[in-house]
Structure 1
């Protein structure tokens, strides 16, 4: 049985059994009736869900005639986090619209939801199941190893062996981003735009997909100081010691607000929260302090949040395009376990426009940011982080 047919069979069994269980609800008070219903469901599911006819390749461009289920499981931030969960969901929506596939989603409220949600996707026979975020690594990897006929994607992390070293799975594709490159530009810009000589950053949880932003930001500030004989201070992160400020999760906006108020009290006037929805708390605190600006991450915060008037720029990961493209490859029979790595060169990461601050960023500073971007793309300048892909 092909992987596509295996997925269809799982989905068929899942749907038939679920439907029969629903129909038997009135008699489920009696143990005998429940057992009888369950056996009948199993027998009918097996007879109804025999192997589907073999099909060649995938649905082709446009997805007409595609029998494909693309699925996604969120991190605890939820689908409306204005950040990476939302971007991933938008990528699935693009795949549905452009490829004509079906979709299923599972929204996690906490870490304890990860494995059950991934298992639910497997039970529904998803051809591709994607986990959004580093914290879903274990759940996605376990499901991939247990279901070699199905395909899986992991956003913001690679897979690991028993020693914690990066490893490859034949049916699992990491989707990762070298955000240190774009964050370097953001750090340089922040240092050049600061009126107090102090900027700040903080993370949600100290994991590689968070600290890589902070490393790049720190290096950008240092580069600005070296180029201009300045001494702009960075609060919230020490790259050398890999120590800094973290809210502790990606949910508690009040903690983001509290951290930002602390930074503001220490004269920071530009702050980059790397914490998903927690960043909304940071933006709220910044909005209450005149002259304070935010640098958003993952998506273009000017477009995705209600705080556009204080967002200087955003360090963007093009998660939605990566999700859509990965699903399209699978639909067309071209699945590859080779990691996707978003960089400045392939436009997988980048800086958002300055939007309302377009006229306030000095031309000389913007030109230098663009020059540094080209140097990174050409390889003349290398931005390094212990968390780089």
Structure 2
């Protein structure tokens, strides 16, 4: 497995993918290798190092590795590759692992709207790319569904789902830009914020703490309450990608000689995406909220509630 520049201790999808690889290797009694990238200059040599060590499946983590993965797959047709969070490569030896996170983010948007006391919730992203905006689309649509069901008018700031534009930091680093972007959402009186893009949530958490206001946060990728306890007191919930089961499934396929290039698409139905528990906020949300979310989830799974995004993966 080759990480992106976030590293395997990012409390997010690199870490989750690596944990899935470890679990799969243990349960299947197969060996694994890893290479941690510090910058994009490491991507190609790290992938080549996996090939040179005779790995017959190389898993790359994140869309940033797409070009390097595509080139390596073309140069090594006898090696199988899987790439997490990218569906741009058309090759017989490359399997995309992608997630319809709009489905789970829809639930998060509904929950955020229900919890909000100011009637304003916000979101912002790292970069304006499909794997980020799909969260923001689902979140905004979940708020709209809440408003329609409850005759409310909770407002979303930071993302206009119809115009497909909003607030972005320009990268995935926890830095002053990310903190200032979060502050911009706070200044608009939002009391629930969903930062989308790896470690930028850490900057949002700092902005929330510095504000002294009662503001909750929605995590993404992992159950951030569990993966980063330093911010758990702020976490309303998280929109989770089932990175561990997805990686496990693909490794098992390869080990069983059943590898193919058909994309693995994580959905609510196959537990490839999901909403984390409310944890410490369980006593703070409306008593009927969990039941409502369970019904909405069932509706999304059976198709009676449609959740779509221009960024949704094709299934």
- The two structures have a TM-score, normalised by structure 2, of 0.95
Q: Take 1:105 and 1:74, find their aligned partners in 2: how far apart are those partners?
A: 8
Q: Take 1:241 and 1:76, find their aligned partners in 2: how far apart are those partners?
A: 31
Q: How many Å apart are 1:219 and its aligned residue?
A: 0.4
Q: How many Å apart are 1:223 and its aligned residue?
A: 1.0
Q: Take 1:334 and 1:308, find their aligned partners in 2: how far apart are those partners?
A: 40
Look up the match of 2:83. Answer: 154
Question: 1:135-284, aligned counterparts within 5 Å?
Answer: 135-160=64-89, 167=90, 169-284=91-206
Match of 1:328, SS?
Answer: helix
* Number of residue pairs matched by the alignment: 311
Look up the match of 1:109. Answer: 38
Look up the match of 1:30. Answer: none
Look up the match of 1:380. Answer: 304
1:91 to 20, 34, 39: 20
Contact 1:76 1:251 in 2 (8 A): no
**Are positions 1:338 and 2:267 aligned together?**
no
Contact 1:315 1:352 in 2 (8 A): yes
Q: Provide the aligned C-alpha RMSD in A.
A: 1.3
- The two structures have a TM-score, normalised by structure 1, of 0.78
Match of 1:202, SS?
Answer: strand
**Are positions 1:285 and 2:207 aligned together?**
yes
**Are positions 1:130 and 2:59 aligned together?**
yes
Q: Take 1:202 and 1:110, find their aligned partners in 2: how far apart are those partners?
A: 24
Contact 2:123 2:157 in 1 (8 A): yes
Q: Take 2:40 and 2:126, find their aligned partners in 1: how far apart are those partners?
A: 14
Gaps of 5+ in 2: none
**Are positions 1:297 and 2:220 aligned together?**
yes
Gaps of 5+ in 1: 1-71, 161-166
2:273 to 349, 352, 366: 349
Q: How many Å apart are 1:80 and its aligned residue?
A: 1.1
**Are positions 1:76 and 2:5 aligned together?**
yes
Contact 1:255 1:278 in 2 (8 A): no
Q: Take 2:243 and 2:154, find their aligned partners in 1: how far apart are those partners?
A: 32
The structure number with the bigger radius of gyration is 1
Look up the match of 1:358. Answer: 282
